[in-house]
A and B are shown apart, each in its own frame.
Chain A
């Protein structure tokens, strides 16, 4: 606490600004240069500081918090290794456009550039993977910078903002009367486009009226923009099928008859067929990523493309677009839906798209999502049980790999902001701390991390944080004792040369590990044990690891191999699988 009431320190300004922004939680890890900040936090009643066990976990937790609430997540780390440990988390948020603020301590301004103890040029290191960053050189700039940082993180295409706080700035003081948190922010060089151009929206409506085989392709932008109701309205009014990307899952109800399931490399066979044969592709808040398009020259060859996105750089980056609409996805759809109601009032959409929807239903019957039943415990079965036991209503985070794809295929989300996965960067170790962040934000919900046995070991130390703060995250380890996705590629494309993917010798006993941390550990080896284990874990409301020993050799299907076209998607092979 500051000695003098007439002066206010940088550290105090920091906390006052965060409170003015409505921040209630900081995920952090202390260190030398931020001692002043932690001294102020000692007295702070209105902001909860969650002490993590690794800075990467702290940033992922802020990320999971942001994804499940729509608010800006906040992480605080110290200088040097604290900051560099945060880089993966920052890059992860950048790739998925998640609004987080990462405050990094820094050595005193006089020592910057001097190779001081625990000094790192974090601004330089994170320049390519932040939406923006600030080095605060004067305590008088601190309040304005924090205001701007929150604004930049949360608006336009969201993204991580790093604010570097030198020790002397945190210790510096200004007269208390001179501090006020700015009411408004005015960055003349940053004015994101929110409303779509009316001429473009009109063109889009004309195209929609003309199309006979439309598909709505929705991405993470729909979730970030909170546009799920507008998407649903458009789909239901026009009777158009909807396919989400990995990041768009939850943006349209997965159990809805118009849902095609995910498209792309491990999407459903029928979603890929629909996109290939459509005559109008309405891309909403998606960026035509390579996991989705497959061989780009052969992606969606027969259609006009409408592309609605807030970021102009995503439009025409990978594919030619016929009708680009730059703007906030929700705002654009509100306008589009309104106009459509008026202009297309006489159209019988059901009839217009009947043949198309019948074709899609036939495709769904031809190649449904399925897996072999041969008595072994299948990972897909475990996911299905998780879905059923939770009523499709839990918050699910995942790690990266085969289990992630199965989770995307078999857990249907009818609401957005329940599905938390690392799409762009594909970071193993993301889901566990992200689940922690989600649980803090939603103490009463069931939060489940679906993990692989490789991924879980990347950020396992946050188990201690979960136990300490009483966060009843349930981690379902889909344990095939392999780095599964890499193993699958080695089997398919490298003549089964299993190189550095076998985890059988090098995995701890997860049950004992959970108990060592003070949590609950369970092991499941048989089908009939799955459901009871899940029900028990949910009932006990304590952090829990469940080790599901699944079939080692199960592969993810459908699959579009790298370099192949989506139309050549390989469906689940029939029972006799060759090796």
Chain B
């Protein structure tokens, strides 16, 4: 089962390597990992999406907590949360498919951020499901390249 885990860490040299190493060393999988600074100086926030049985997830959160530079670990699956991710998608857009492509972009309230005679680059933000959906719709048109940020998540209050 997929779990989204929010981790607050000290923004110190090697912290990201430790967390990544923890996952790889114990054979846990990382679907996505996103990290950036928070408002608090020296503190960064990581959103990790992983999957596994409950017993494994329990070990993962405990092992994360054990790291000296980890301040707090929250398994968001236990709470209500919102998550978003962003994708930049470069699609083939020859003359006969351009209109269809633009229709899809419009439906998903995405944006065309770059355009050339044969390609569009599209920016889309939304929940994981939304991003998956637009990718599936664009696939028949022809996707040249995708980069995704992975999820970031916030607890609901």
Contact = CB atoms under 8 A, between A and B. Distances in A.
Is chain B found bound to chain A in the same assembly? yes
Interface of A: 123-124, 127-128, 131-133, 135, 137, 152, 187-190, 311-313, 316-317
A170 B68 CA distance: 25
Contacts of B65: 312
A128 B68 CA distance: 13
B10 interface: yes
Given A313-B63, A316-B58, A127 B68 contact: no
Nearest to A315: B62
Interface stretch (B17-25, B102-110, B120-128, B144-152): B17-25
Contact of B68 (A123, A131, A311): A131
B25 A128 contact: yes
A128 B19 CA distance: 10
A311 B18 contact: no
29 contacts: A123-B14, A124-B17, A127-B14, A127-B17, A127-B18, A127-B21, A128-B22, A128-B25, A131-B68, A132-B68, A132-B69, A133-B14, A135-B13, A152-B68, A187-B68, A188-B10, A188-B71, A189-B9, A189-B68, A189-B70, A189-B71, A190-B68, A311-B66, A312-B62, A312-B65, A313-B59, A313-B66, A316-B55, A317-B59
A133 B14 CA distance: 9
A6 B147 CA distance: 56
A537 B150 CA distance: 67
Contacts of B18: 127
The interface residues of chain B, by DSSP majority, are classed as: helix
Among A123, A187, A189, A317, max chain B CB count under 10 A is at A189
- What 10 pairs across the A-B complex have the smallest Cβ distances? A189-B71, A313-B62, A132-B68, A128-B25, A190-B68, A312-B62, A127-B21, A189-B10, A313-B63, A313-B66
Contacts of B58: 316
Interface in B28-66: 55, 58-59, 62-63, 65-66
Contacts of A127: 14, 17-18, 21
Contacts of B17: 124, 127
A316 B68 CA distance: 21
B70 A128 contact: no
Nearest to B26: A128
Nearest to B55: A316
Contacts of B59: 313, 317
A312 B65 CA distance: 9
Given A133-B14, A187-B68, 17 more contacts: A124-B17, A127-B14, A128-B21, A128-B25, A132-B68, A132-B69, A135-B13, A135-B14, A137-B13, A188-B10, A188-B71, A189-B69, A189-B70, A189-B71, A190-B68, A313-B59, A313-B66
Among B9, B14, B55, B63, max chain A CB count under 10 A is at B14
Contacts of A311: 66
Contacts of A124: 17
Nearest to A313: B62
Nearest to A188: B71
A127 B9 CA distance: 17
A188 B11 CA distance: 12
Interface string B72-101: 000000000000000000000000000000
B45 to A, nearest CB: 13
A137 B13 CA distance: 10
A233 B21 CA distance: 42
Nearest to B24: A128
A450 B59 CA distance: 37
Contacts of B62: 312-313
B143 to A, nearest CB: 36
Nearest to B58: A316
Contacts of B14: 123, 127, 133, 135
Nearest to B18: A127
Nearest to A192: B66
A135 B68 CA distance: 15
A159 B97 CA distance: 61
A312 B70 CA distance: 15
Contacts of A190: 68
B58 to A, nearest CB: 7
A550 B17 CA distance: 49
A133 B58 CA distance: 25
A133 B15 CA distance: 10
A87 B10 CA distance: 26
A139 B76 CA distance: 40
Contacts of B70: 189
Interface in B108-134: none
A238 B25 CA distance: 42
Contacts of B13: 135, 137
A131 B22 CA distance: 12
Nearest to A128: B25
Contacts of A135: 13-14
Nearest to B9: A189
Among B22, B58, B63, B66, max chain A CB count under 10 A is at B66
A311 B68 CA distance: 13
Contacts of A312: 62, 65-66
Nearest to B65: A312
A155 to B, nearest CB: 11
Contacts of B21: 127-128
Nearest to B17: A127
A135 B14 CA distance: 9
A152 B66 CA distance: 12
Contacts of B55: 316
